[in-house]
Structure 1
Amino acid sequence: MDNNSNSFETMSVTYGERDQSPAPGVEDVVVPIHLSSTYSIPRIEKGMSLEDVNADDGEYLYSRLANPTRNALEHRIAALEGASHGFAVVSGTAAIATTMSAILTPGDHVVAFEDLYGGTKSMLKRFFNERLNVGVDFVDATDPENVAAAMRDETALVWMETPTNPLIHLCDIAAIAEIAHAHDAKLGVDNTFLSPYFQQPLALGADVVIHSTTKYLNGHSDSIGGAIVTDDDALAEEIGFLQQIGLGAMLSPFDSYLTLRGMKTLPLRMRQHEQNALAIARFLEEHPAVDAVHYPGLESHPQHDLACEQMDGFGGTLSLELATDLDGVVEFLGALQHFPLAVSLGGVESLIEHPATMTHSPLTQAERDALGITDSLLRISVGTEAVEDLRYDLDTALSMISTTDTAHPTTTQS
């Protein structure tokens, strides 16, 4: 099937499912959950191997290798990213680890954005650097020249998030792709915060893109998963080996089904997430109890112009810095009604989290200070609820701290 044969909205609803019939003459509108762990084959032949089994032709042997429900999901996410190959794995972290393992060998070097999800930074430092002897340099990738300055002869991978978690920094994907390729390195991009609806890094020069499908792709906070997409045939072969045999980190049929179901409404949800997030960001930017708002849809964001160039929308996640100390943050969080205090993001329900004590707690205090992750920083995943309810809830909670001392305990870096 031609990945470009339909619009994004149409592919979100139907792509990958109509050729996944469970039996001749049965035409499910929605792909069923294929729970079987193994499949009967008609016969054996001399010289047969695993490579002879082709799931795209309806041939299945063992669900770790290929499963009809997962196969449908992998085709859909690849189509939405404009990619030739897609892989669904057990988590977003597994997607990152699988991708990096497919590229890196001991002695290689990685240049990575300094403002990454805390788990990704810990993986690079504790697993790849300390255990596998892979060199890692973290740089401020908002300026591509910093990436260029960190490149070495042994650099095999440049790893970016854009926007970043939690400070919503951006990097110029096209410029950094040129730098990576000039050094024969691969560029990997974590596209979780925007989804393929708002950003397509492969079209900008990236070699491989990953998602935590837990977030916007699934969109309902009821499944954990990850996805990897690429146009690089050789890299896809390595990723496929690791997914199916080397690591066995494939996504389960049930989680594949949930993600397929969630992706049917991806365009609708992303438009509502963005509409609500922009309204909330503008409201917070004008509030006296808020020191700063980080959201690329705001003209005040230092990379707003870049966002308009390489993104088709601004997403549903923002961060803010309250004009108070940790005690004031605790008081604010306790007053909220529509923003549960929880990690993760991208669901239809709004969530709020405190990076310093939650998602980025694996980092040292010095590392958090260097990044600007202060005790006053909060990240909000803006859901699809009525924006008037969300705004009223935030305003009510902010009033709890608006008369307190608004001096920051530390200097904010943004």
Structure 2
Amino acid sequence: MANKEFPYTGFTSLAVHAGHEQDPNYAHLTPIYASSTFVYDSAEQGMRRFSKQEEGYIYSRWGNPTFTEAEKKIAAMECFGVATTNGDPLQVKALLHASGMAAITTLFISNLKAGDKILSHFSLYGGSQEMMDKILPGLGIEAVIVDLRDLNKAEEALKADPKIRMVYLETPANPTVQCVDIAELTQLAKKYNKLVACDNTFATPYLQQPFRYGVDFIIHSTTKFLNGHGTAVGGVLLGRDIEFMNNRAAKTYQLLGGNSNPFDAFLLINGMRTLEIRMERHCHNATEIANYLEVHKAVAKVNYTGLSSHPDHYLAHKQMRHPGAIMSIELKGGLQAGIQMMDRLQLCTRTVSLGTCDTLLCHPASMTHYGVPKAQREQYGITDGLIRMSIGIENVQDILMDLEQSLKGL
């Protein structure tokens, strides 16, 4: 077993070994600690743990050894090769949640109060958009939506409204894979003393590291590429202010009850060990498929940052290692052609979610973004004919064969 102080030179070595502590019974992999509570050697020890005078586990809603390894592994990946302004390796704190939405809830509730506003952009994940539209207003928190690809509009919004407390980014965004400039927007936000949070689910820490550009918080739906196998729902919130994360964020997390569970954490840990290998194959396949679809006679448009035709192609290249594995397409035949295509699939899978080993197709307007009003969806580029594709790790020729037969005659 690699020592926890070992100076990893590669991402996969880190993904395999980071966060692991030797189990007292010498299990090779971290066990599933399926215990709701943890015991103390004495009443005094219990008192010390509750008062934080001594580290240790108390109750699995507050923390669990299986959670801890997953949290440390994700934190290590997001910080790999990232330094502070002093040149020291960046250290962050992670909190493992039951879902990505639970992590977003902890982020918002721990940082915002009635009267505060969030500055964000269009084409967000449907759950995030609905949270801003339907839940936060009841708490007195408002979302301001601006095209943040235009830095002048971003600064105008920040200047005009001192109630904006947080800038919330999702890049690449779901499902149009629009990108925003993390570095420029973070610099701009800091000029006005605002917090910055970034949803890094589509990119993963292997393709993009928002902490490198100075953001305060990172969110993941660990259900997706981090788990990689579609076996467990989860989410994580990471923050660079460790005191805040250990206190206000942790207390919010504990009281809201959005914690993960040991079995899902175990599945996540083992999924992350192969993240780099999987992402390389995902991205290779996606590039070939995007090039094929861009010239297909049935396809009107391909949204994929790896194509030079995508408006955010150069920005994505600037801040991502590879363009990623997510794309969306518009068929010339519109909604009906999309239904026919999806019904004909033989290898690829018809389902929501993304980031699993198999290629997944879904129809955002009727699935992931069903709860977003039609006019709002269309304003954000999510039309009735849009199909989102999460490209898997199958042999690319087999994916291409399935797409070809499903598009024939459309």
TM-score, structure 1 as length reference: 0.91
Q: C-alpha distance in 2, partners of 1:294/1:136?
A: 26
- Judge conservation of contact 1:110–1:155 (CA < 8 Å) in 2: yes
- Judge conservation of contact 1:341–1:353 (CA < 8 Å) in 2: yes
Residue number among 380, 386, 408 corresponding to 1:377 in the alignment: 386
Residue of structure 2 in register with 1:73 after alignment: 70
Residue of structure 1 in register with 2:15 after alignment: 12
Q: CA deviation at 1:213?
A: 0.2
Q: Does 1:134 align with 2:141?
A: yes
Where do residues 360-371 of structure 1 align in structure 2 (5 Å cutoff)?
360-371=369-380
Q: C-alpha distance in 1, partners of 2:260/2:184?
A: 33
Residue of structure 2 in register with 1:219 after alignment: 228
Q: C-alpha distance in 1, partners of 2:409/2:349?
A: 17
| 2:120 aligned counterpart, secondary structure | strand
Q: C-alpha distance in 1, partners of 2:244/2:281?
A: 35
Residue of structure 2 in register with 1:96 after alignment: 104
| 2:95 aligned counterpart, secondary structure | strand
Q: CA deviation at 1:99?
A: 0.7
Where do residues 263-412 of structure 1 align in structure 2 (5 Å cutoff)?
263-401=272-410
Residue of structure 2 in register with 1:249 after alignment: 258
Q: CA deviation at 1:180?
A: 1.2
- 1:79-101 C-alpha deviation (Å, 9 max, x unpaired): 11114211100001111111111
Residue of structure 2 in register with 1:260 after alignment: 269
| 2:190 aligned counterpart, secondary structure | helix
Residue of structure 1 in register with 2:48 after alignment: 48
Q: Does 1:149 align with 2:172?
A: no
| 1:121 aligned counterpart, secondary structure | helix
Change beyond 3 A, Cα 1:3–1:356: farther
| 1:81 aligned counterpart, secondary structure | helix
- Judge conservation of contact 1:53–1:60 (CA < 8 Å) in 2: no
Change beyond 3 A, Cα 1:339–1:50: same
Residue number among 242, 248, 257 corresponding to 1:238 in the alignment: 248
Residue of structure 2 in register with 1:406 after alignment: none
Change beyond 3 A, Cα 1:325–1:34: same
- 1:249-305 C-alpha deviation (Å, 9 max, x unpaired): 111000000000100110000000000000000000010110111111111111111
- Judge conservation of contact 1:162–1:190 (CA < 8 Å) in 2: yes
Q: C-alpha distance in 2, partners of 1:214/1:3?
A: 29
Question: What stretches of structure 1 move > 6 A for 4+ residues in a row?
Answer: none
Q: C-alpha distance in 2, partners of 1:393/1:205?
A: 42
Letter in 1 for 2:48: M
Where do residues 114-125 of structure 1 align in structure 2 (5 Å cutoff)?
114-125=122-133
- Judge conservation of contact 1:37–1:62 (CA < 8 Å) in 2: yes
Q: Does 1:28 align with 2:21?
A: no
Where do residues 143-182 of structure 1 align in structure 2 (5 Å cutoff)?
143-151=150-158, 152-182=161-191
Q: CA deviation at 1:4?
A: 6.4
Residue of structure 2 in register with 1:183 after alignment: 192
- Judge conservation of contact 2:285–2:393 (CA < 8 Å) in 1: yes
The aligned length equals 392
Q: C-alpha distance in 2, partners of 1:334/1:66?
A: 44
Deviating more after overlay: 357-366 vs 252-261: 357-366
- Judge conservation of contact 1:216–1:347 (CA < 8 Å) in 2: yes
Q: CA deviation at 1:149?
A: 1.6
Q: C-alpha distance in 2, partners of 1:318/1:387?
A: 15
Q: CA deviation at 1:38?
A: 1.2
Letter in 2 for 1:294: N
Q: C-alpha distance in 2, partners of 1:275/1:195?
A: 16
- Judge conservation of contact 2:123–2:381 (CA < 8 Å) in 1: no
Unaligned 5+ runs, structure 2: 80-90
| Structure 1 vs Structure 2 CA RMSD | 1.6
Residue of structure 1 in register with 2:94 after alignment: 86
Q: C-alpha distance in 2, partners of 1:234/1:125?
A: 30
Q: CA deviation at 1:5?
A: 4.6
Q: CA deviation at 1:48?
A: 3.1
- Judge conservation of contact 2:282–2:325 (CA < 8 Å) in 1: yes
| 2:366 aligned counterpart, secondary structure | coil
- Judge conservation of contact 1:285–1:292 (CA < 8 Å) in 2: yes
- Judge conservation of contact 2:48–2:54 (CA < 8 Å) in 1: no
- Judge conservation of contact 1:20–1:68 (CA < 8 Å) in 2: no
Change beyond 3 A, Cα 1:54–1:379: farther
| 1:241 aligned counterpart, secondary structure | helix
Change beyond 3 A, Cα 1:2–1:294: farther
| 2:73 aligned counterpart, secondary structure | helix
- 1:63-108 C-alpha deviation (Å, 9 max, x unpaired): 2222111111111111111142111000011111111111100001
- Judge conservation of contact 2:335–2:386 (CA < 8 Å) in 1: no
Q: C-alpha distance in 2, partners of 1:94/1:61?
A: 21
Change beyond 3 A, Cα 1:73–1:41: same
Deviating more after overlay: 59-68 vs 84-93: 59-68
- Judge conservation of contact 1:4–1:79 (CA < 8 Å) in 2: no
- Judge conservation of contact 1:88–1:250 (CA < 8 Å) in 2: yes
TM-score, structure 2 as length reference: 0.92
Q: CA deviation at 1:234?
A: 3.8
